[in-house]
Every structure is written in C-alpha cells, then in structure tokens.
C-alpha cells in the first residue's frame, strides 16, 4: 500500500501546493502525483502519451479530482474512468470549491466515491485531508486488481 | 274666403285642445318619464301634421282639408294647432323615440329623413294639383291625381331602393371595417406574443446568466480566498519564530477576514439560490423543524446557559426546505444575540390573532433600536458592529426572501437590551 500513489488532478498550482502541504502534515507517506489538466490525467490513467511506459494495473489508491479543469473537465474524466473496464473500479473523490447541488448530484450520478468541498479555513481543510487519508489508506478495502 | 272665422270653433279644434291638455297633464305628472315624453312627442307630431295640412290647404287655396262639409276649420285654429304641437314637441325634449328615429346613422333614421319630406312634398303637390285641376274641363281630375300617385310611388320606391342599397353598402363597409379591425387586433396580438416571447427569452437568459454568475462566485471566488488563508497559515507555521506578536496578530487578522469573506460568499450564494429553488407547498410540522434546530444549537455551545421553550405540534402550510432555512436563520440570530446574557431564553410559539395565525420567535438578547427596523431585512444591513456580534448581514435578507417566496409576512419588534421578537404569518392561515 505504501508504494501506491494518490493522484491529484488540480490545475491551480497554489491550491495543489497547499494540498500537498496538508498531506505532508497529515503524515501520509504515499506519493502525491499532481497533474494539472484533464487530458494529461487521462494519459496517466490509461498509460498513453507521455505515460505509455506505465503499467495500467498500477492504479492509484484514489484519485482526487477537481471539476473545472483545462482541456477535459472532471465530469468527463469520471465518465471515461467508469466506462473503461481497466479503470472502472478506481476510487474517485471530487475535491472542489463548488458545493453546487447540481455538481454534487452529477458527480454521484456518474459514480463518484466521495465529494469534498474545500473549506476556506485552512485548519478545516487539513482536518478534511487527514480524515480522507485515514479512510482511504487504513479503513477502506481497495478494489481487487484486474489481472 | 272665410279665413278668420268669427263663428264658433270647429269641434275638431275642441278635440285637439283636449289632446293638448292631456299631453300637458301627462308631462306635469311625469316630468322625467321617458315613456311620457314619447307619448307627448307622438301626440305633438300627429297633431302637427294635421295643423300643417290645414295651413297648406289655406296657402294653396284648396279647401280640401279645412273645408269639411259639416265643420270647417278656420286658419287661426290651424295655426293654433301648429303652435301648440310645436310647444308639445319642445316640452317632450330631445330624448324621444321620434327624434332618435331621425338622427344618427341607423337605417331607419336614414330612410325616415328622406321619406318624411317626400310625404310632405306629395301632400302639397297633391293638394295643389287637385285644386288646380278640379274645375279644369280639359284634364280629368281623377286621371291627374292617379298619375301623380303613380309618380310619387315610383319616386318613393326609387328612394327606398337607393337607401336599401346604401344600407347594404354601409353594412358591407362596417363588415370590411370589422375585418380590418380584426386583422389589426390579430396583428397586435401577434406583436404582443412576440414581445412576451422576447421578454421571456431575455428573462431566461438573464436567469441563466445569474446562475452562471453565482456558480462562478461560489467556485472561482472562494479559490483565491482559500489560497490566502492557506499561505497565511503556512507563513505562520514556517516563519512564526521570525515574527513578533504584532506580526502574528496581522496574520490572524488576515485569516479572520478571509474566512469572513468566505462566509459572506456562502451566505450570498444561499440567498441567490433561494429564488431559483422550487416551492412545494404542503403541511409542514414547524415545531419539529424548530426542535431539530434547537438540538443543533445546544450541541454547538454546551457551556452556555440557554433555555429553549418550543410550543409542540405547530403546523403551517408552506415549503419545508424554505421554512427550515428561515427558521435556521431566525434561531441563529436569537442564539447569537443572547450570547452576552447570563441566561438566554429563546421561545417559539403561536399567537392566534383575529387576522390569522402568527408565529413568533422571541429572545431576551441584545435587541435593536426600532428606529432602524426598516433596514433590518436588507442585505448587508447590520445593527451591531463586527466586534460586538460578528455576522454577514445576509441572514435576515434570506429570511425575508423565504417569506416573499411563500407569500407570507415577517416583521419584528425589539427593545435595546431587552430582546427581539420576530413574527411571521402565512397568506391563508
């Protein structure tokens, strides 16, 4: 489990840095892979393009997905993941500023595993990341690996 | 010719005077009755015709009308009849059947206006020719009169036919005008529909714009705020040993204000979503909502001495979600403004007024000056400073919006230092 990564798809560099910081403070040792746009995120997951050398079976523990992303938005990425037999069981959690009801509904309609709205208060955000890490790394039973 | 007879008056004149007296009496008894006026005018016209024929007879020298074998009528009698009938005509007024039959554009009036003078013409020429040819040996009197009758009849038929034609033409014109009017109305309707459609489209698009705007506010505006708070925290965590107490206080102020703006944005978004929310009217257990809110408030601050008095089993017709938002804001308000009291009391209940059910939420909190009551429900309006009682000033604006949407009423009574009571009522309760 420790060698597995957490994938963060986030286009805002400042936000990504702060999320990284929160992870570090939460003592989660797993590597946080940060990708800044939707297209590259799909290349990473499906092992195409720059990531063609990657093993597709080597899934992240969980994907933290922003909704508003350049090139391919979060909902589309989620749909592609759920329709790809190699990726469909991959846990995906939305991490976004929005708490728009329609965004939350659309996320669950497309099979998301969780929805975190980033609070403005950094302390609360760090608490959320800690709780998130504890759940996905320690509590949750991961999906079986496709062979 | 015995024009001004000095003999006794003709019995005809006596009958006429009786008729005139009758008409005057009717007019005196029923001065404003329209039927009386009609009778008077009809009597006036019929007697007038007789008087006129006597006058014409005398003018053309034909004794046919006046020189009855038994009771001849004198000229002065005829003139009397005419004058009296004119008098009747005036006292009958203008609002009579006869006058109304002559004026205006009705087909009857048009025909009468031509036929009546024609009748006069026929009578005059008939009398004149009768007189002229009566003692003429060369022409047969009866043939002349018969020819005249035929001529007058032909003229009458011609006049009537011409008028009937005109009437048809008029009604056709009216019909065409109606068609044109209908077309104009249809055109106006079409324009109106087009305008409504345009307005609706504009409204939908502006509504959509507003949604996009509020989405963008909730998503994009909060993001930089999070960064400010995040990096301020990082600054404190990584560099606090290089900062003095003042520097630390500055960072804390930045964070506090940033979070306040976050709360403001959140409240504004909630307010804007209220107008887009669907309203589902049903019977709502409002006491249940109040009790749930009280449980939540108790869990937030268990250290405070607070007493809640909630009247159980109260129901109201409204939207559950919207009422929950309103009550949440009202209870939050009371909770906040009783914070500085030794023992806060928050009460929720129902007053049965003559005007209907009035619900209230009463507290013994800070209260406010009623002079500013008009500003109470305005967005961003605050009665206390941030240091005294922090807040965004959107809560009560949200409450007002809820009751606007539910077509209810909300108002408040307050006294500084003693507390505030919010009242609300629904449209048909």
Residue A76 is part of a domain; what is its CATH number? Answer: 3.40.50.2300
Subunit contact B226:A96, Cβ cutoff 8 A: no
pLDDT at B229: 93
In B180-239, the residues whose Cβ lies within 8 Å of chain A are 215, 218-220, 222-223, 225-227, 229-234
Say how far apart CA B142 and CA B7 lie, in whole Å: 34
Torsion of CA B275, B281, B285, B286, to 10 degrees: 30
Say yes or no to pLDDT of B5 above 70. Answer: no
Q: Identify all chain A residues contacting B231, using CB atoms and an 8 Å cutoff.
A: 14, 18
Rounded percentage of chain B residues whose pLDDT exceeds 90: 15
Half-sphere exposure at residue B41, Cβ-oriented, CA atoms within 13 angstroms: 18
Query: In the predicted model, what is the mean pLDDT of residues B55-78?
Result: 68
What's the pLDDT band for B62 if we cut at 50, 70, 90?
low
Kindly determine whether residue B230 and residue A122, on different chains, have CB atoms separated by under 8 Å: yes
Chain A neighbors of B321, CB-CB under 8 A: none
B233 in helix, strand or coil? helix
Q: What is the arithmetic mean of pLDDT over B232-238?
A: 93
Q: What mean pLDDT value characterizes chain B?
A: 82
**pLDDT at res. A74:** 92
| pLDDT interval class at B426 (50, 70, 90) | confident
Which of B226, B231, B261 is closest, CB to CB, to A118? B226
Chain A residues in contact with B261 by the CB 8 A cut-off are 120
A97: chain B residues, CB-CB within 8 Å: 218-220, 222-223, 226
User: Which of the two residues, A118 and B54, has the higher pLDDT score?
Assistant: A118
Task: Please judge whether B218 and A100 are an interchain contact, meaning their C-beta atoms are less than 8 angstroms apart.
Answer: yes
**Sequence spans of domains, chain B:** 11-176, 279-425
Q: Chain B contact for A105, CB < 8 A?
A: no
Q: Is residue A147 part of a domain?
A: no
Q: Picking from B18-32, B328-342, B383-397, which range would have the lowest pLDDT averaged per residue?
A: B383-397
The residue among B213, B216, B219 with the most chain A CBs within 10 A of its CB, best to mutate, is: B219
pLDDT surpassing 60 at residue B99: yes
Each residue of B344-374: pLDDT tens digit?
Answer: 899 999 987 777 889 999 999 888 888 888 8
- pLDDT(A147) > 60: no
Range scoring the smallest mean pLDDT among A54-58, A134-138, B237-241: A54-58
pLDDT tens per residue across span A94-116: 998 877 788 899 999 999 999 99
Decide if A143 is inside a domain. no
What's the total number of domains in chain A?
A: 1
Contact A106, A83 (CB under 8 A): no
On the question of pLDDT at B65 being above 70, the answer is no
Residue B318, token pair as written in the block: 């409204």
Ranked by mean pLDDT, the top range of A81-85, B137-141, B147-151 is: A81-85
Task: Look at A120 and B220 and tell me if their CB atoms are within 8 Å.
Answer: no
CB B424 within 8 A of CB B358: yes
Q: What six digits make up the tokens of B190?
A: 């079409």
Q: Kindly report the CATH number that applies to the domain delimited by B279-425.
A: 3.30.565.10
* A1 found inside a domain: no
Q: Where would I find the beta strands (DSSP E) of A22-137?
A: 32-35, 62-65, 92-96, 114-117
When pLDDT is cut at 50, 70 and 90, the band that residue A18 belongs to is: very high
Interior CA angle at B130 toward B129 and B131, to 5°?
90
Distance to chain A for B296, nearest Cα, Å: 19
Q: Count CA within 13 A, CB hemisphere, residue B197.
A: 6
pLDDT at residue number A95: 93
User: Would you say B426 and B318 are in contact if contact means Cβ atoms under 8 Å apart?
Assistant: yes
b/e code A59-83 from CB counts within 10 Å (16+ = b):
bbbbbbbbbbbeebebbebbebbee
More confident residue, B115 or B328: B328
> Six-digit token pair at B378?
């305005």
User: Which of A120, A121, A128, A129 to mutate to test binding with chain B, by most B CBs within 10 Å of its CB?
Assistant: A120
Q: Does A106 touch chain B (CB under 8 A)?
A: no
Report the half-sphere exposure of B279 (CA within 13 A, side-chain side).
14
How much is the mean pLDDT over chain A?
89
Q: Answer yes or no: is pLDDT of B70 > 60.
A: no
């959690």: which residue's tokens?
A: A93
pLDDT confidence band for B127 (50 / 70 / 90): low
Does residue A32 sit within a domain? yes
Using one digit for the tens of pLDDT, what is the confidence trace for B102-113?
777 776 777 777
Pairwise pLDDT comparison (A83 vs B66), residue with the higher score: A83
Model confidence band, residue B67 (pLDDT cutoffs 50, 70, 90): low
Residue A145 lies in a domain: no
> pLDDT higher for B3 or B367?
B367
Q: What is the mean pLDDT of residues B89-105?
A: 77
- What DSSP string describes B293-340? HHHHHHHH-TTS-EEEEE-TT-EEEE-HHHHHHHHHHHHHHHHHHTTT
Residue A142 forms part of a structural domain: no
In chain A, the residue whose alpha carbon lies closest to the alpha carbon of B218 is A98
Q: Do A119 and B262 lie within an 8 Å CB cutoff? A: yes
Q: Stretch B49-71: mean pLDDT, rounded?
A: 68
* Mutation for B interface: A96, A102, A122, A127, most B CBs within 10 A: A122
**Across the interface, do A97 and B259 touch by the CB < 8 Å criterion?**
no
Do the Cβ atoms of B262 and A18 come within 8 Å?
no
* pLDDT (0 to 100) of residue B1: 45
Which residues in chain A touch residue B258, judged by CB atoms under 8 angstroms apart?
Answer: 120
Instruction: Report A:12-51 residues touching B (Cβ under 8 A).
Output: 12, 14-15, 18, 21
Domain span at residue A86 reads 6-137
Nearest to A40 by CA among A52, A31, A50: A50
Nearest Cα of chain A lies from the Cα of B416 at a distance, in angstroms, of 34
The confidence band for B8, taking pLDDT boundaries of 50, 70 and 90, is low
CA B386, B392, B394, B395 torsion-angle sign: negative
């Amino acid at each position: 489990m420790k060698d597995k990564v957490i994938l963060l798809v986030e286009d805002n560099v400042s936000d990504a840095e702060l999320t990284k910081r929160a992870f570090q403070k939460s003592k989660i040792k797993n590597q946080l892979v940060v990708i800044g746009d939707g297209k590259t995120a799909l290349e990473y997951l499906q092992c195409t393009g720059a990531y063609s050398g990657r093993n597709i079976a080597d899934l992240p523990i969980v994907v933290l997905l922003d909704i508003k992303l350049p090139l391919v938005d979060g909902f589309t990425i989620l749909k592609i993941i759920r329709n790809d037999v190699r990726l469909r069981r991959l846990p995906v959690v939305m991490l976004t500023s929005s708490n728009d009801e329609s965004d939350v509904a659309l996320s669950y309609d497309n099979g998301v595993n969780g929805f975190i709205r980033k609070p403005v208060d950094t302390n609360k955000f760090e608490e959320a990341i800690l709780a998130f890490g504890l759940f996905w790394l320690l509590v949750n039973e991961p999906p079986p690996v496709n062979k | 010719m015995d024009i001004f007879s000095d003999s006794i008056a003709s019995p005809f004149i006596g009958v006429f005077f009786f008729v005139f007296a009758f008409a005057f009496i009717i007019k005196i008894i029923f001065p404003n009755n329209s039927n009386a006026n009609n009778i008077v005018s009809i009597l006036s016209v019929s007697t007038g015709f007789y008087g006129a024929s006597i006058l014409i007879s005398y003018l053309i020298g034909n004794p046919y009308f006046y020189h009855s074998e038994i009771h001849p009528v004198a000229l002065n009698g005829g003139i009397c009849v005419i004058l009296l009938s004119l008098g009747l005509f005036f006292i009958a007024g203008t609002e009579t059947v006869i006058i109304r039959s002559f004026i205006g554009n009705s087909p009857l009036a048009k025909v009468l206006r031509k036929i009546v003078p024609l009748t006069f013409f026929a009578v005059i020429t008939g009398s004149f020719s009768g007189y002229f040819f009566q003692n003429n040996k060369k022409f047969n009197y009866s043939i002349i009169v018969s020819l005249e009758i035929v001529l007058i009849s032909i003229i009458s038929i011609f006049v009537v036919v011409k008028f009937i034609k005109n009437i048809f033409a008029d009604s056709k014109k009216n019909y065409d005008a109606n068609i044109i009017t209908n077309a104009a109305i249809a055109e106006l309707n079409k324009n109106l529909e087009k305008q409504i459609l345009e307005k609706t489209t504009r409204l939908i698009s502006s509504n959509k714009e507003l949604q996009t705007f509020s989405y963008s506010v909730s998503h994009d505006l909060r993001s930089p705020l999070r960064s400010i708070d995040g990096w301020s925290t990082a600054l404190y965590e990584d560099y606090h040993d290089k900062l003095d107490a003042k520097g630390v206080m500055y960072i804390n102020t930045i964070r506090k204000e940033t979070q306040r703006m976050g709360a403001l944005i959140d409240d504004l978004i909630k307010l804007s979503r209220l107008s887009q929310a669907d309203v589902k009217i049903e019977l709502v257990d409002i006491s249940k909502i109040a009790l749930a809110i009280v449980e939540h408030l108790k869990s937030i601050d268990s250290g405070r001495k607070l007493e809640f008095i909630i009247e159980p089993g109260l129901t109201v017709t409204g939207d559950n979600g919207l009422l929950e938002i309103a009550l949440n804001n009202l209870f939050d308000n009371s909770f906040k403004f009783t914070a500085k009291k030794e023992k806060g009391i928050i009460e929720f209940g129902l007053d049965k007024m003559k005007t209907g059910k009035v619900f209230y939420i009463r507290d013994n909190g800070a209260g406010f000056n009623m002079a500013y009551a008009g500003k109470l429900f305005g967005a961003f309006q605050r009665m206390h400073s941030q240091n005294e009682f922090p807040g965004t000033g959107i809560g009560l604006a949200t409450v007002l919006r809820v009751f606007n949407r539910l077509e209810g009423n909300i108002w408040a009574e307050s006294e500084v230092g003693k507390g505030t009571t919010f009242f609300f009522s629904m449209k048909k309760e």
